[in-house]
Amino acid sequence: MQTPDAVMRRLRPRRRDAHEQLREELRALEADVERLREEVGMWQELSAPGPERPLILGAGDRGDARRVLCSLGVGPYVDLLAISSITYEAYAALHGYDLRLATDLLAPERPPAWSKIALVRQLLERYDEVLWVDADAIFLDISKDIAELVRPDKDLYLVEHVYEQDESWRSANTGVFLVRSTRWARRFLDRVWAAEQYIDHAWWENAAVLDLLGYELPPDLTPPRKLRQTEFDAHVELIGLEWNSTAGASLADRPRIRHHGRASDMSDLRRRLLEDLITFRRNLASHGAPDATPGGPAAPR
Chain contacts with Mn ion (rule: CB under 5 A): 134, 136, 175
- Name which of 140, 70, 145, 131 is nearest 100 in CA terms: 70
Cβ nearer to Mn ion, comparing 161 with 180 = 161
Cβ nearer to Mn ion, comparing 86 with 176 = 176
CB of 135 to Mn ion, least distance (A): 7
CB of 100 to Mn ion, least distance (A): 17
Q: Can you point out the beta strands (E) in the chain?
A: 67-72, 97-102, 129-133, 137-139, 156-163, 166-180, 215-216, 225-226, 236-238, 257-259
- Closest residue to Mn ion, Cβ-based? 134
Cβ nearer to Mn ion, comparing 175 with 255 = 175
Quick check: helix, strand or coil at residue 92?
A: helix
d(CA 95, CA 146): 9
Cβ nearer to Mn ion, comparing 89 with 136 = 136
C-alpha distances (whole Å) from 266 to each of 67, 76, 82, 97 are 31, 7, 13, 29
CB of 39 to Mn ion, least distance (A): 22
CB of 116 to Mn ion, least distance (A): 10
Cβ nearer to Mn ion, comparing 129 with 136 = 136
CB of 136 to Mn ion, least distance (A): 4
d(CA 142, CA 131): 14
CB of 300 to Mn ion, least distance (A): 42
- Name which of 235, 187, 182 is nearest 213 in CA terms: 235
- Write down the number of H helices and E strands in the chain: 7, 10
Phi, psi of 2 (to 5 degrees): -95, 150
Cβ nearer to Mn ion, comparing 52 with 134 = 134
d(CA 270, CA 266): 6
